[in-house]
Structure 1
C-alpha cells in the first residue's frame, strides 16, 4: 500500500517537470482518440517512438483536469492495483475543483501494475475518468492486453517520426510549399538524406554528431533485442536469433525467403524450420520489422 503523501508529491513534481522543463513537443500526425466514446486509449509502438511525449502533450493541453504518472518512477515501486482508489482521492484533494467533473489520467508504463485493465474499465465506464495509457511495446500491444479491455479500448500505433514530423523538428513547415524551391530545396534534400540514413526516432533527430546517433541507435537495438525478444519469449537459441536479426535488418526493402535461410544455415548450427518461423514471428510481434507480402490473386501464393 502506497501512502497518499507519496502520490501527491509525485503528482505535483510530475506537473512541475512537464510544465517547466518539457519545452519542445512535436505534434504527432494521426494521433486521434474518440472524445464521445467511453474507451481507454492505448498508445503502443516500438520503443523510443515518442509515446511518453504524446502523454506530455495531452497534459499540457489539459493541465487543469489531468494528471500524469510514470510507473517506472522509483517512488511508485510499491504501487498496486488497489492504490488507484488512493490515487483518485489524492487527485481530488490536490484539485478539489474536479469533484463531479471529468478527470484525465495519463498513465505511462502502466504494464508494471498487475490488473491495470480492470481499473481502466471501471474508471472509464462508471467514474467519468478519461484514461490514456502507454507502455512497453512488448507488453501493451492490443493482442497482449487482458480480456477485461477487449472491445473497450482504442488502440493507436505510434511510429517514429514521419518525414513531415522530422522537418517540423528541424524548424521547417512541411505545409509551406515554398520549402521545395530555391535555397530551401537544398536544405530539405539534405534533411531527407539524413532522415533516410538515421531514421525517424525522435531523440535521434535532435542529436548533432554521428557518434552520438550511432551509439544511441545501438543502445536502442540492444534493448529491443534483449527485452523485447530474448527475455520476453525466453529465447534459447541465441545464435539463431542473432543471425536472423542480422539477415532481416540487412535485407530491408528486399525479398527474403526463410526457406532459403534455413537451407543456408542449417548445417552451421542446429535449429528446426519450425523454430526459425517462430523466431521470425517474434520479430513481427515485437514491431522490430514489418513485412509487405508480394501481391497475387491467389491466397496461396500470397502466403508463400
Structure 2
C-alpha cells in the first residue's frame, strides 16, 4: 500500500476529535484505501484492532439497508461495550438519511467517525445544516504527477529532475521523467492504473467501466432515489459531459452549450443544461473555475472554464490525440494547484486572459500562464504580454514544457512544468 501522505496527515490532524471526517472525491480515486491506511496507522499507534469497525455500504453484507434507523442500530449493536470505537463508513451516499444516523452515533457514543462518499450531495445544504460545524471535509483527487511517480516506484535523483532525467522504476526498468509524464498525461492518475506501465486497451476498458458506473449509479440512479425528475436523459447527460470534456480550458457558458446541442439535434433549455452540469460537478467529474477581474478584484458571472478530474478520463472520452497537449497541460496544472490548497480562478484583463489566478489562505497570490512551448517569438509574446499588464506585485509565472528556456523575463519567472509538478521548482 503506497501512502498518500497529504490525505493521511489531514485525517490524522482531526483524529479523536468530535468532528466527523468526510473523505469525498470521484469513484476509484483511493478513498476506501485511505480509510484502510488510517486503520493501519491506528493499529501501528497501538490501537487494539477490536476497536476498529468498518461498514462497506456497497458490500452484500449491507444490501437492502436504506433506512438510517437500521444503519444506526446495526452500528450501535456492533460497538456495544467497546471503549472509544473507531467507525469507518465507506460510500454512505446511497443510504437515505445517513446523516441522521451518523449524527446520532456522534452524540450518543464516545466514538471517532470517518466516512467516504462519491457524490457531493453527501454534503448538500440540508445535510450540512444537520451536522453543521461537526464535520470536516477532506477532498480527494486522482494522483498528481508526483504521486504517480511514487506509484510507478520511480527512484528520483537528487536536485533538479529535468524532463530528460532518467529514473529507475519499481520493476527495475528505466524511463525518462518526460516519458513518464507523457504516460501520465495520456492515461491519467487513477491509482489502480498507476502501478505499472500503462497499456491503452487496459486503461480504456477500466475508465469506460468507471465512467458508466458514475453516470448510471452516481448520477441517474441517485437522482431517481432523490425523487427528482430533472436528470433522466442519459444521452443528454453524456452529450453534455462530452462537450465539457472536449472544451476543458475554454471559456464556456450555458448559452453556448444549449446552442451547440440545438445544432446537433438535441434541443434543451438553459435550466435543464444547468441542472445536468451541476450533476456532473456533484459526481466530481468536473470542477469549475470562475473568472476573476484582476483590475476590479471581483468575480465575474460568465465565461468560466471547466476542468476534468483526470486527463485519462478526458482522453478516453475524446480520443487519444496528440494535438491537444496545451489544454491537457492546463488541466493538469489546475488540478495540481487545487491539490496544493489554492483557490483557483481564471484571470480576466482587457489585455487578455490569464490562465490561472491562484490564491492561498495566507493572502498570497500567483498569476500563471501554461503553455506547451514558448520558443517562438509570437508565442512568447502572447504568454508574457497579459502578465506584464497586471497592476500589482504578486508573482507572475509561465509554466512550459520547454527544457531550455530563460528563467526570468521582465520579472516574470519561467518554470518547466515537470520541475514544478515534481517539486523541483516552487511557484
Fold agreement, TM-score > 0.5: yes
Q: CA deviation at 1:67?
A: 2.0
> C-alpha separation between the residues in 1 aligned to 2:29 and 2:269?
34
Q: State which drifts further: 77-86 or 65-74.
A: 77-86
Check conservation: 2:72, 2:105, Cα contact below 8 A: no
Equivalent residue, structure 2, for 1:265: 261
- State the Cα distance separating 1:71 from its structure 2 match: 1.7
Correspondences of 1:88-107 after superposition (within 5 Å): 88-91=76-79, 99=82, 101-107=83-89
**The one of 20, 26, 45 aligned to 2:25:** 45
Relative contact order higher in (CA < 8 Å, ≥ 6 apart): 1
Query: Could you say if the C-alpha distance between residues 49 and 298 of structure 1 is closer, same or farther in structure 2, counting changes exceeding 3 Å?
Result: same
Give 3-state SS (helix, strand or coil) of 2:167's partner. Answer: helix
Aligned match of 2:190: 201
Extract unaligned runs of 5+ from structure 1.
1-23, 94-98
Where do residues 152-231 of structure 1 align in structure 2 (5 Å cutoff)? 152-172=134-154, 176-177=158-159, 180=162, 182-184=165-167, 187-206=176-195, 208-231=198-221
Q: 1:176 offset after TM fit, Å?
A: 4.8
Distance 2:99 2:6 in 1: 27
Partner residue, 1:302: 300
1:292 pairs with 283, 289, 292, which one?
Answer: 289
Taking only aligned residues, the RMSD between alpha carbons, in angstroms, comes to 2.9
Residue in 1 that maps onto 2:42: 62
Q: Report the Cα offset of residue 89 of structure 1.
A: 4.5
After TM superposition, what 4+ stretches of structure 1 lie above 6 angstroms from structure 2? none
More strand by share: 2
State the TM-score, normalized to the length of structure 2: 0.57
The aligned counterpart of 1:25 is 2
Q: Structure 1 residue 56: deviation in Å?
A: 0.7
**8 A Cα contact 2:15 2:112, kept in partner:** no
What's the counterpart of residue 10 of structure 1?
A: none
Contact 2:24 2:139 in 1 (8 A): yes
Counterpart-to-counterpart distance in 2, 1:139 and 1:301? 25
- What SS does structure 2 have at the residue aligned with 1:293? strand
- TM-score, scaled to structure 1: 0.78
The answer as to whether partners of 1:164 and 1:174 remain within 8 angstroms in 2 is no
Counterpart secondary structure, 1:246: helix
Which digits, 9 at most, give the CA deviation of each residue in 1:263-297, with x for residues without a partner?
33325233222222232232223221112223314
Structure 2 partner of 1:150:
132
CA deviation after TM superposition for structure 1 residue 212, in Å: 0.7
**Rounded Cα–Cα distance in structure 1 between residues aligned with 2:18 and 2:297:** 38
TM-fit CA distance, 1:239: 4.0
For residue 51 of structure 1, report the CA deviation from its aligned partner: 0.5
Task: Number of aligned residue pairs: give it.
Answer: 275
1:73 is aligned to 2:59: yes
Q: Distance in 1 between matches of 2:70 and 2:221?
A: 28
Q: Distance in 2 between matches of 1:135 and 1:29?
A: 18
Of Structure 1 and Structure 2, the greater helix share is in 1
Point out the more displaced range, 80-89 or 265-274: 80-89
